[in-house]
Structure 1
């Protein structure tokens, strides 16, 4: 666990460094470094404090009262008690696309959102496994990590967009002359957003495997999550989930298409690999060999 936290901290540091360097190339002198530092600080603070509001608004999630879904509330309360965290607030996303996500800056300010589609698709055991997966994200504070990563990556991309729209005027160079900076242009438009996406992907994949394991530990039923992931993978791509792409790492399965170049930048591990690990874990628990 400590190794994952250290790796994640290092990756977040790289993201912040890209933002600072991007600010430098945008301006062309030391003022750009200050701009990058300010953007990194603002991005980190805003994502820390407003991460839950931003994610819930991105998917138009609505509060779920206990009167609307008493069984769901009791299930989440029971799983939260097993996980050793306060019960998060519950929200529903008005879409038939089956998915779920957790958000919030810490376990005391957390929320779990489920879509109408996932409530209709999964069995009670499968839904419980998905909820346990999201509670593990809350317990491990992955929700904050992903929000910070997504916000900083978005700021890096925004810097690239600024330069792409204004490249005819060019940034100010080191000798304070107005003119194009080919290196800065290449970095901000192509290399920085690409690097930010890859770093964000690495953070997300590590966290998803850990949350799958946490779900299995909380429920004692790894196969329930394996079956849920299989259904979500099959139906989810038939009914895409619309929303801010920077928030997609929060979801339990990637809502984007796997076709073309998008397959290179999926923020989640391959579902088949996640299922394979869960099946292997179930076999270890039962003391039986994994089927070939």
Structure 2
């Protein structure tokens, strides 16, 4: 095929692509325009959008919680199978004026403990079996108090709702921008074909498309960062509450260190493991938990503030160990 014939064919393809994308953009714009014309008054519309976002987040939270418990590789533990553990949980729940949660013991790949649910149903407390070998009784009590603090504050629900609402807002913005995205994508593709460079996406329309898509993605990232930031703050709050209830912040600090060290892989390719420590700011911002160093240092300061009689173990003074990533 001669160059002239190729350019002619490419121009035809470009025009066809442009017509296809613009038709799709106009169709979506008409749908949005019709929906906007049929909208209720602005206060009612905002109330409906807010209700929809909250309902979506709540449904996602409830379904996610139920699925998590259904997929646990463990069992619900009745009182007769672990009376001492149940008595500890009863005592802590009574001190915290908290509805008693259901207890599950599971076999995970790493030492872990986490709480799900909360509110009037009490939620569920999930403990990995390895923690019973790893932690002393006082350390186990501190970890239990930390997780019960999450249930007391209904943290999982609050964080899930904030995350769901943020994602819903980004989703609404994406739907509103969809006609522009389609039109710019069509213009960028058509421009490349018409110029005889089908793979070239360096023109003005391509840059505008990337800018708009990047802005929407930035909104998603911001919503995620806000949710993760709140999650890290709730971890600190749960640490403080556990230290208050047990009166032993050092026990929790020791437990965090033990779990962190036990979770670190020792096999030769450990640098490539997901448990590796990192100082990358982006990874810290996206983490749901603060670093173990930060948590231990806060607990150490809490212990020091309780008086000079509180002994600080040498292994807990300063930042001697890197970051943990457990869901504790």
TM normalised by structure 2 equals: 0.62
Shift of 1:120: 2.5
Higher CA-based Rg: 2
Shift of 1:207: 0.6
- Give the secondary-structure state (helix, strand or coil) at the position aligned to 1:173: helix
Contact 1:201 1:266 in 2 (8 A): yes
Does structure 1 residue 147 correspond to structure 2 residue 160?
A: yes
Pick aligned residue for 2:57 from 33, 44, 59 = 44
- Give the secondary-structure state (helix, strand or coil) at the position aligned to 1:172: helix
Contact 1:223 1:279 in 2 (8 A): yes
Alpha-carbon distance change, 220 to 210 in structure 1, aligned in 2, over 3 angstroms: same
Does structure 1 residue 217 correspond to structure 2 residue 238?
A: no
Alpha-carbon distance change, 37 to 179 in structure 1, aligned in 2, over 3 angstroms: farther
- Give the secondary-structure state (helix, strand or coil) at the position aligned to 1:200: helix
Shift of 1:275: 0.7
Shift of 1:59: 4.9
Aligned position for 1:17: none
Aligned position for 1:201: 228
Does structure 1 residue 95 correspond to structure 2 residue 136?
A: no
* Separation in structure 2 between the aligned mates of residue 235 and residue 153 of structure 1, nearest angstrom: 35
Shift of 1:238: 2.5
The number of residue pairs the alignment matches comes to: 240
1:89-111 Cα deviation digits (max 9, x unpaired): 11123214111111114143411
CA RMSD of aligned residues (A): 3.6
Q: Which segments of 5 or more consecutive residues in structure 2 lack a partner in the other structure? A: 1-27, 37-44, 186-208, 267-273, 319-328
- Give the secondary-structure state (helix, strand or coil) at the position aligned to 1:102: strand
Contact 1:52 1:105 in 2 (8 A): no
Contact 2:73 2:108 in 1 (8 A): no
Does structure 1 residue 78 correspond to structure 2 residue 122?
A: no
Alpha-carbon distance change, 201 to 131 in structure 1, aligned in 2, over 3 angstroms: same
Contact 1:51 1:147 in 2 (8 A): no
Equivalent residues in 2 for 1:127-276 (5 A)?
127-152=140-165, 171-173=178-180, 178-180=183-185, 181-188=209-216, 190-238=217-265, 257-259=276-278, 262-276=283-297
Contact 1:257 1:263 in 2 (8 A): no
Alpha-carbon distance change, 204 to 264 in structure 1, aligned in 2, over 3 angstroms: closer
Contact 2:88 2:141 in 1 (8 A): yes
TM normalised by structure 1 equals: 0.68
* Separation in structure 1 between the aligned mates of residue 237 and residue 154 of structure 2, nearest angstrom: 12
Contact 1:97 1:116 in 2 (8 A): no
Alpha-carbon distance change, 238 to 36 in structure 1, aligned in 2, over 3 angstroms: farther
* Separation in structure 2 between the aligned mates of residue 116 and residue 185 of structure 1, nearest angstrom: 46
Alpha-carbon distance change, 256 to 95 in structure 1, aligned in 2, over 3 angstroms: same
Contact 2:54 2:161 in 1 (8 A): no
Aligned position for 2:25: none
**Which 10-residue stretch deviates more, 177-186 or 63-72?**
177-186
**Which 10-residue stretch deviates more, 102-111 or 55-64?**
55-64
Shift of 1:153: 6.1
Aligned position for 1:11: none
Shift of 1:149: 3.7
Contact 1:44 1:151 in 2 (8 A): yes
Alpha-carbon distance change, 256 to 267 in structure 1, aligned in 2, over 3 angstroms: farther
Shift of 1:84: 0.9
